[in-house]
Amino acid sequence: MTETNFRTDLDPDGVLSVVWDMPGRSMNVLSEAAIRELAGIVDRVVEDEAVKGVVVSSAKKAFSGGADLTMLEGIARLYASEKAKHGEAAAAKAMFEESRKLSQLYRRIETSGKPWVCAIHGVCLGGAFELALACHYRIASNDASTRVGLPEVKVGLFPGAGGTQRVARIMPPGDALQMLMKGEQIRPDKARAMRLVDEVAPKDEMLGKAKAWILGGGKAVKPWDEKGFRLPGGPVWSKGGFMTFPPANAIYRRETQDNYPAIRAMLQAVFDGLQLEMDRALTVESRLFAKVLRSPEAAAMIRTFFVSMQELNKGARRPNNVPENKLKTIGVVGAGFMGAGVAYVSALAGLHVVLVDRDQAAADKGKAFAEKLVMGQVVKGRMSGEQRDALLGAIEPTADYAALAGCDLVIEAVFEDPKVKAEVIAKVEAVIREDAIFASNTSTLPISGLAKASKRPESFVGIHFFSPVEKMLLVEVIVGKQTGDRALAMALDYVRAIKKTPIVVKDSRGFYANRCVIAYMLEGHLMLTEGVPAAMVENVAKQAGMPVGPLALNDEVALDLGLKIIDSTRAQLGDAAVDPAQERLLRALVEKEGRLGRKNGKGFYDYPEGGKKRLWPGLADLQETKLDPDAIDVSELRHRLLVTQALEAARTVEEGVVTDMREADVGAILGFGFAPYTGGPLSWIDSMGAKRFVRLASALAELHGPRFRPNKLLLDLAEKDETFYGRFAPPKETAEAA
């Protein structure tokens, strides 16, 4: 057998070492070739009497991120081709057989009659951890990088290689379901407490301990294959089962609004599987997995959360003609909430940060914010005292602009006023190197306009962070009219260094994410002014798949900022560009009631100290009309909230603000939480078809006005029966598992 992805070595004691080391990849993944090769190793183990046991390990920094999801995309395509050739029944059978191969392979490991040990160092996730679960003993390193988990739900799938059945037989079903539904990465000590691993040891001792376990009589039979095995939580149809599964179903519906077929199928796999012996349970899991794999939600989420996001993170939009920048020192001008957050994530990435503000006290206050964030990590055990000191030592607060002289990149995060920013640009450019890049963190002001204050507009770029910086994964990189490739490359290299996901957008008012967010909040405001109860607005938004309602979101970004945007919109585009009903609502809240949002503890919601936020009862008094909730079409409200965002996304494509469909979808989900199960607004339009979407939007336009009128691009796609991803197909690239 040719050894390409795995290296094997049989020692004199009969222990076969299997080292996973895929060539040309930074991380091992379960590709078709790797699975075939592993199957050959299993055959050898079963047939060769000289093999007494097996130790599986990895030569990479991490064990494995799991399956190559582009392989699963191929299985989904198999269904479509087989259906066209042989009909739906044959296609379903072919897909079922293909999608269960890994599950069957792992079952062969489990029943091979020889003990298998998995030595885990670094991340071991998804299908790779299902391999570990099929082994008879698991040892994890005590290294800070080691994590195990089954995160498939985050890409619209569930563990389909035995994960649901083995986890639910290792721990009580309530704990198993919680783990499976969260999809979190679990630290070694916690994994041992959960019985997901059997032992935790230093990395250099793992292989020795694994061999010793085998030679010491390690059992090659799993508990559930032994006579008399009892489920940890008792039978499904027991008192414990009744206390687990009905609440689990209720929690699923509360948390997902039944928008995620993978999680629903996973619940069913565990419930049905625990009533069967292992082989039949695995068949049930495989049938449900194959069904989910061909769902539109899985296809969209795999593409957006896995393929597209990885391609963007690896620099899909980076100019090829510019050498990679190895950033060492960056400057941040403005040590307020946003600037301090930028300083923190930059220092966390190992960069030296010069943090500048108007005086030393203000600069020190910015560093203090970073210290508060660091201490939170230390208290939670996610950072050591040594790491804390190193991070804080990397932030240099100062009031002296001359300290920026050695910076590769300077980011301004000062007040949203063109005059203030122009003054900062002049001060910075007077001291920085000729080859340094200047970036503005503006969220509303066009980059091309700000660049007029620069002597080097080709080295001027926008880097728009979202708040709070330390939590939000998206960064918009804005290209002005004169922004050069070197400035764009520097911005993308920086975003990659701080481990966030970039999207590149052309300069325009509101850029991309804010345009869609503003449309979403506007729709919530208008529903309220029409007489829809505030609670209904918020709850329907969550039913549609949004993480928070438009009113709660407005509180987070501040109501007075909304008024400023209205005023600037009127100044730039005239009265017709402002909705009078929205303006009346915001002026009443801000100017008459003094309600600014979360920042002053009162907006659409009240924020009692030490208590949960709740909708302000006074909202009802601001409604001139009050509609009967039972007479309101909930599906129409849901469509309004999603369609308004999707239309805005489509307009940005038509206007050339967004030129890559991957960025539109990834940016929408990471930037403002567009219903993740859809894969993003353009994927949502493509999945229903442009013709159907145009009909839906046109019907809403008839009821609610021209803001819902489909743009020319959408009408053209509908007429020609095309999709966004079909007409504007991104270049083909291969992504590794995360």
Instruction: List pLDDT tens digits, range 493-524.
Output: 999 999 999 999 999 888 999 999 999 999 99
CA distance 70 to 92: 19
pLDDT at 738: 38
Q: Break the chain into its structural domains and give their ranges.
A: 6-294, 329-508, 513-633
Joined together, the tokens standing for residue 73 give 């995309």
Distance, C-alpha 734 to centroid of its chain: 19
Residue 281 main-chain phi, psi, to 5 deg = -60, -40
3-state class (DSSP) for residue 395: strand
Confidence of residue 737 (pLDDT cuts 50, 70, 90): very low
Average pLDDT over residues 415-440: 93
Q: Output the CA–CA distances (angstroms, integers) from residue 323 to 243, 318, 433, 459, 628, in the order listed.
A: 59, 10, 18, 15, 62
Res 736 pLDDT > 60: no
CA distance 513 to 505: 10
Long-range pairs for 533-541 at CB < 8 Å and ≥24 separation? 533/620, 533/626, 533/627, 533/629, 534/604, 534/615, 534/619, 534/620, 535/615, 536/629, 536/632, 536/634, 536/637, 537/637, 538/615, 540/634, 540/637, 540/638, 540/641, 541/641
CA distance 269 to 552: 36
Q: Output the CA–CA distances (angstroms, integers) from residue 622 to 23, 597, 616, in the order listed.
A: 65, 16, 11
Joined together, the tokens standing for residue 387 give 């790491």
Give 70's strand partners.
none
Tens-place pLDDT, residues 455-471: 999 999 999 999 889 99
Joined together, the tokens standing for residue 3 give 């050894």
Res 157 pLDDT > 90: yes
The matching CATH number, chosen from 3.40.50.720, 1.10.1030.10, 3.10.180.10, 1.10.1040.50, for 513-633 is 1.10.1040.50
Give the sign of the dihedral formed by CA 363, CA 366, CA 368, CA 370: negative
What stretch of H or E contains 504?
strand 501-506
pLDDT at 571: 82
pLDDT, mean over the chain: 93
Closest C-alpha to 497, from 681, 664, 318, 625: 318
Average pLDDT over residues 669-675: 94
Q: 420-434, 541-555, 567-581, 678-692 — which is least confidently predicted?
A: 567-581
Q: Output the CA–CA distances (angstroms, integers) from residue 387 to 341, 374, 573, in the order listed.
A: 18, 9, 50
Q: Are 529 and 585 in contact (CB under 8 A)?
A: yes
Closest C-alpha to 575, from 584, 588, 566: 566
pLDDT at 55: 98
E strand intervals along 136-201: 137-141, 147-149, 199-201
Q: Are 513 and 501 in contact (CB under 8 A)?
A: no
What stretch of H or E contains 163?
helix 163-170
3-state class (DSSP) for residue 164: helix
Superfamily holding 329-508: NAD(P)-binding Rossmann-like Domain (3.40.50.720)
pLDDT at 725: 95
Helix, strand, coil percent content, the chain, rounded in steps of 5 = 55, 10, 35
CA distance 301 to 676: 7
Give 475's strand partners.
465, 502
CA distance 476 to 512: 8
pLDDT at 381: 80
Confidence of residue 372 (pLDDT cuts 50, 70, 90): very high
Average pLDDT over residues 24-53: 95
Residue 308 main-chain phi, psi, to 5 deg = -65, -45
Number of Cβ atoms within 10 Å of the Cβ of 44: 16
Q: Are 509 and 491 in contact (CB under 8 A)?
A: no
SS (H, E, C) 300-341: HHHHHHHHHHHHHHCCCCCCCCCCCCCCCEEEEECCCHHHHH
Residues recognised as catalytic: 464
Res 112 pLDDT > 50: yes
CA distance 725 to 682: 8
What stretch of H or E contains 652?
helix 634-654
**6-294, CATH topology level:** 2-enoyl-CoA Hydratase; Chain A, domain 1 (3.90.226)
Res 732 pLDDT > 70: no
CA distance 253 to 256: 5
Give percent of the chain above pLDDT 70. Answer: 99
Q: Are 286 and 100 in contact (CB under 8 A)?
A: yes
Res 443 pLDDT > 90: no
Average pLDDT over residues 337-361: 95
Q: Are 596 and 560 in contact (CB under 8 A)?
A: yes
Residue 688 main-chain phi, psi, to 5 deg = -90, -15
Q: Output the CA–CA distances (angstroms, integers) from residue 221 to 104, 195, 395, 421, 665, in the order listed.
A: 16, 16, 55, 69, 46
Q: How deeply is 249 buried, as exposed, middle or buried, from its count of CB atoms within 10 A (0-12, 13-18, 19+)?
A: middle
Res 17 pLDDT > 50: yes
pTM over 0.95: no
Query: How many degrees, rounded to 5, is the angle at CA 355 between CA 324 and CA 449?
Result: 70
pLDDT at 733: 52
Tens-place pLDDT, residues 595-621: 999 989 999 999 998 889 999 999 999
Average pLDDT over residues 7-17: 96
Number of Cβ atoms within 10 Å of the Cβ of 395: 24
pLDDT at 76: 77
Tens-place pLDDT, residues 60-80: 999 999 988 778 778 878 888
